[in-house]
Structure 1
Amino acid sequence: MTQRPVMELASTIRHDGAGGVLDDLDTAEGTARWILRRSGLPAASLTPAQEPGGATEFVVDEEFRAAVIGVRRAVRALFARVVSPAPPSPADAHRLMPADEALALLNAAAAREPVAPQLHWPAEGPPAAGLLSAEGDPRVRLVAALARDAVDFLSGPQREQLRACHAPRCVRYFIRSHGRQEWCKPSCGNRARVARHYRRARNDDG
């Protein structure tokens, strides 16, 4: 099942399987790889209304990487606010952006791209909504689209199902799919149960 873009962005910070944390966006090259693997990003479906001088080449530089990471920092700070009073992801709990700064950054990123709603209605099939962009730089479109998806998620009903996974070594946020779900995936549940059993056995021995 494909995750929505805001969840994929938040999950670029992940555990390495050995107690450490990996960042998929730690370099411009890593950021480019992440984007290329995410063909479902909403920016891919936006068509610029005009591009003076022809199509703009998509170049991942440090300025663009910083913009994507800025949106991610804002998202993870607001995710921590959503799951409170439960603890946030341990990956960045000690260095979260203040909530007011996160809101300002997210809204500013979403506003960088002027878009207009468009109705598409094929001869055979249901009508569908799309967006027409007046922004020629695909990097701006992608950052703005990530921010808009975060705005949509954080203001919608799915927000109530957001949880931080607290299985050993996991640092992910996830959307709970059923009422009793405690972990982001079965393997995390297995690790949590093993750790819980180990703690109980050690306490019994003591």
Structure 2
Amino acid sequence: MRLEDLQGGGAPLLGEPLPIELGNATYAVRGRLVDGLQTVEHVTAWFRDNRHRFAVPLTDEDLALGSERDLTATRALRDAVRTLIGVAVRGGDAPREAVETINEQVRTAPRWRELSWDEGPRALARASVDHLATARAEIAQHAVDLFGGGEIEQLRACHAPGCVLYFLKDHPRREWCSAGCGNRARAARHYERNRKTS
């Protein structure tokens, strides 16, 4: 299968958030519903056409592994998303099957936010591994974002005497990690000035 030769199922790509984009893979032509994910090739083409939007890049090798299982899972997810979008737009009760379909697929990640619709829609944090390991992984992910992003330019060491803490300079005049260190630094400067003049 050559990825560049794959024809999409014709599903419109409108630049909507990915769940809506996937839900829109069922669309209408002249008033008739069309399934844009009829084959493994359609699913592979849909992921190929949207791969730039995923946090973890999908390579050509990843896409070439598309299977009937992927077709079934992607269509189930699409149908659940469409069902819940309809509930959100028109009101009513969310079918438990649609919520569970989304939660089953999101549980394949080591950590996820799960959907609950019992008292209205809300997200609940969940993990499939040790929760402390999950917390460490979250800190590590934030570290990757910090060091790999623009905030690295704002990292500073506290200028207060004896302080070894770091902070993000979120204000142009900020020079200390805390107000306490700022007070100690100003008091030390005041003491030094007064000592020299005495």
TM-score, with length taken from structure 1 = 0.45
Between Structure 1 and Structure 2, whose CA radius of gyration is higher? 2
TM-score, with length taken from structure 2 = 0.47
Structure number with the bigger relative contact order (C-alpha 8 A, sep ≥ 6) is: 1
Greater percentage in helix: 2
